[in-house]
Amino acid sequence: MASFSSKLESKEWTHFDSSEGVTIATVLDFSNGAFTCDLEAPLYDIVEEDVVVGTYRVLGPGVVEMGFDDVRKKLRISFEDDAMIVEPAITSSASSEVWV
């Protein structure tokens, strides 16, 4: 069974959000204690890379602390099939969100 960190770093994780017919993809990539967050709006051929760049550390099984600038946020992360469930949500004020 793969370790929590290796699952986290196994691929770029994508969260999709739609508003007024436009789909925005947020792409999150974890690697060696750092993360990057990109935004993509394919309908308008927009790609904004490295919108957020920061660090992360695994605090325990399923618990990660992410930080950028002076902001630190503790998240609970679980994996189900090929999805990553994050609580609380990273991209909104929702209680959770799914990344694929």
Of 1-5, 45-49, 54-58, 78-82, the poorest mean pLDDT is in 1-5
Q: What is the structure's pLDDT at 99?
A: 97
pLDDT value at residue 2: 67
Q: What are the tens digits of pLDDT across the range 61-82? A: 899 999 988 889 999 999 999 9
Distance (Å, whole) CA 42 – CA 21: 12
The pTM assigned to this predicted structure is 0.86
Has residue 59 got a pLDDT over 70? yes
pLDDT tens by residue, 6-35: 999 999 999 999 888 889 999 999 999 999
DSSP string, 14-74: EEEEEETTEEEEEEEEEETTEEEEEEEEGGGTEEEEEEEEEEEEEEETTEEEEEETTEEEE
